[in-house]
Amino acid sequence: MGHPSKINRVAFLGDYLPRKCGIATFTKDLRCAVADAFPEMQCPVVPVTDIAAGYPYPPEVRFEILEQDLPSYGRAADFLNITGVDAVCVQHEFGIFGGPAGGHVLALLRELRMPIVTTLHTILREPGADQLRVMRDLIRLSTRLVVMGERGAGFLREVYQAPAAKIDVIPHGIPDMPFADPNYFKDEFGVAGKQVLLTFGLLSPNKGIEFALRAMVKIVRQFPEAFYIVLGQTHPNLLREEGEAYRLGLELLAKDLGVHRHVAFFNRFVELDELMRFIGAADIYLTPYLTEAQITSGTLAYAFGAGNAVVSTPYWHAAELLTGDRGRLVPFRDPGAIADAAAELLRDEPLRHSMRKRAYQLGREMVWPRVAMRYMETFERARRDHSFIGRKLSPIRSLDERPGQLPDLRLDHLCRMTDSTGIFQHASFTVPNFAEGYCTDDNARALVLSVMLQKQGHGSPRLGALAATYAAFLSHAFDRGSRRFRNFMSFDRHWLEEVGSEDCHGHALWALGLCVAQSGQGGFQMMAADLFERALPPANEFTSPRAWAFALIGIDEYLSRLGGDLRVNQARDALTDKLMRCYATTAGDGWRWFEEVVSYANAKLPHALILSGRCTRNAHMLATGLDALRWLVAVQTSPAGSFRPIGSNGFYRRGGEPAQFDQQPIEAQATVSCCVEAYLATGDVTWAAEARRAFEWFLGRNDIGLALHDPVTGGCRDGLHVDRLSQNQGAESTLAFLLALAEMRALQSSMSGLAGPQSA
């Protein structure tokens, strides 16, 4: 069964089999149900271990938390963050985590970068001070909360003030087994012909077994063949502290009451298949728990969903599940009431079977495959709802809060991504991905950056060497026969195509024009000028407005140095005319754009007109570029006032809605560059402010409040998704950030009247 989501890896955190407890069983069952329903999804497990020797966990267990060791919670958070987990599914019960009221788990949750879905197995109506504190923090840190009944949802809202919109009600999952006559299973357990009552689960004093044993006295008088099975080993914590004293006490009580021949204690933790056969053999399932404060009972869910008639005390889960004549509720600590309810059901077979059928029918909504689908819906909702604000690894301050400051210029990642051939296209996290090879697009942008930094005075042998490498790549990419640039090259230096895209060609012209404009380059300039002259004529035949725009930016740089070149001036006139005609043809009321879709590198289109209009003193052209930019800026502004580029997951088609995600760094860089040009053309400081706003998108003023810029490497994450950042730092994104930073530093210097470069 497939799924259309972008969730590829969900980690499950909680107790896990072979640790013997109800949460461990639930976590195992839920994890397996999700993995079965979505086989292409990875489902690693991070269990909490309570004993020094540990457990022989199965292969899906990837990392272990030691219950009382606080640092291990932090290490688990690092593991989950580093291994690319898309969501974490937490099973919460106060007793399974270390610290006061299990508070150690909060140290883990605070560090996680992905959505957190927390299933609450215990919700107290009257929590202690520590429990209240832990629950409120848990609610705040969780993206979504799962409860197994409406009563639990009510407690969350009323006692803990949890937002109702954050809560999902998903029933406790159960195995899917056929509706069968109990007599089919009784032979296996030696109870053929008997009326069987069953209680199962880890044995502890709060289960009320002693009251069920006392009830058996009255039941046996009426039904001499009645038999009570108590299935389950002593709870491990109780076993460590007191041994088998409680179980032995129950066995002695049964003997003293004279019902020991009608009772069997199965002292073991049974696997699922055997458990379901025990449940199948029962005529009545009995839960004589002693207090109401149990919001969830897995044993009750299993028995009820399998079609057992149930007699239970009215703890919270039972009171909610057994309404509508779906079972019998009896008072706490009342053996007589237990006996009367059981006797009624044993005596009235039609009543018992109708109750079983109602339970079984309702249980079809509780089977694990359905529950897995419900959890996936919650994971998807969490992905959409998730906000990292309040859980970032380090606080991000906007430029307004740290006036005049820009990040340091670091070229570490740029150098790491570059070898003797050129810059690699992609990275796996911060490591170059050789398999994806190189492309002319990125090497052209890298050459633009290198020359731009040299132009700003950042002269160094390292920058010169980088520029030479990128220029050599462009020279090799150009095919003299077709006069076109090839784009994609494999790691073993084989071209993967005969002719590259028009946009790739435009990028190359931009970089070569900038090289021509740069003084003091000697032969470097001559090589660039020769390539530029050969490569320019095909641009006039292009149909891509972005290719025209990139070429026009390169033309402007070229003409700033060689303004008398008639052929290049003619090319500028031809390309600007094409852009102006596109705008005149397409723009109308409410749509001030060049095409029927706003797609990628959008601000480069108005940038080319603003730049060309300023340099040629064409007021109409300049006004057209500014008009398009104003509209684009409005489209790219979120309701909160932050920069929100058009997402690549659908773009923005005329008559539709702008795609909000996935947001790409190239859009922020193109907007910074265009707004800087608009400021230079008009002197209007509003455009400088817009450039700052677009640049702050890199620093965390964006829809999820996280910085894409990596201050350690100088790299940039590849994109911003609805619930997370891409952790890869490829060439395009890193170059986008560094280009935007270089332009912001130049703008800052210009506006403050400073001369010379800022220190890197």
Q: What is the pLDDT of residue 521?
A: 57
Q: What is the pLDDT of residue 757?
A: 34
Q: What is the pLDDT of residue 298?
A: 85
pLDDT band at 522 (very low <50, low <70, confident <90, very high): low
DSSP letter for each residue of 480-513? TTTTEE--EE-TTS-BS-SS--HHHHHHHHHHHH
**Range among 395-409, 473-487, 705-719 rated most confident:** 473-487
C-alpha 604/C-alpha 668 separation (Å) is 11
> What letter represents residue 652's amino acid?
Y
Ordered structural domains, the chain, with CATH? 10-169 (3.40.50.2000), 183-368 (3.40.50.2000)
Does 154 have pLDDT greater than 80?
yes
Q: What is the pLDDT of residue 295?
A: 87
C-alpha 267/C-alpha 264 separation (Å) is 9
C-alpha distances out from residue 708 to 8, 226, 303, Å: 22, 68, 50
Q: Which residue has the higher pLDDT, 311 or 324?
A: 311
> What sign does the CA torsion over 701, 707, 709, 713 have?
positive
DSSP 192: T
Contact 264/186 with Cβ under 8 angstroms?
no
pLDDT averaged over every residue in the chain: 90
Q: What is the pLDDT of residue 74?
A: 86
Q: What is the pLDDT of residue 2?
A: 43
Instruction: Return the closest-CA partner of residue 410 out of 760, 10, 54, 50.
Output: 760
DSSP 211: H
pLDDT band at 20 (very low <50, low <70, confident <90, very high): confident
Instruction: Return the closest-CA partner of residue 579 out of 531, 536, 535, 627.
Output: 627
pLDDT band at 237 (very low <50, low <70, confident <90, very high): confident
Residues 6+ apart with CB under 8 A from 578: 545, 548
pLDDT band at 752 (very low <50, low <70, confident <90, very high): low
Q: What is the pLDDT of residue 57?
A: 96
Residues 6+ apart with CB under 8 A from 410: 711, 712, 713, 714, 760
Q: What is the pLDDT of residue 584?
A: 97
Q: What is the pLDDT of residue 399?
A: 35
Chain centroid to CA 397: how far?
23
Edge-first strand order for the sheet with 328-329 is 263-266, 226-231, 195-200, 284-287, 309-312, 328-329
Contact 372/146 with Cβ under 8 angstroms?
no
DSSP letter for each residue of 117-129? EEEES---SS--H
Residues 6+ apart with CB under 8 A from 523: none
| Range 726-743 average pLDDT | 96
C-alpha 373/C-alpha 369 separation (Å) is 6
Does 598 have pLDDT greater than 50?
yes
pLDDT over 90, % of the chain: 71
Q: What is the pLDDT of residue 81?
A: 82
pTM of the model as a whole: 0.61
Does 497 have pLDDT greater than 60?
yes
Q: Which two tokens stand for residue 57?
A: 């966990």
pLDDT band at 520 (very low <50, low <70, confident <90, very high): low
Give 425-468 pLDDT, tens digit per residue.
999 999 999 999 999 999 999 999 999 998 888 867 888 899 99
C-alpha 694/C-alpha 711 separation (Å) is 18
Pairing of strands 438-439, 328-329: unpaired
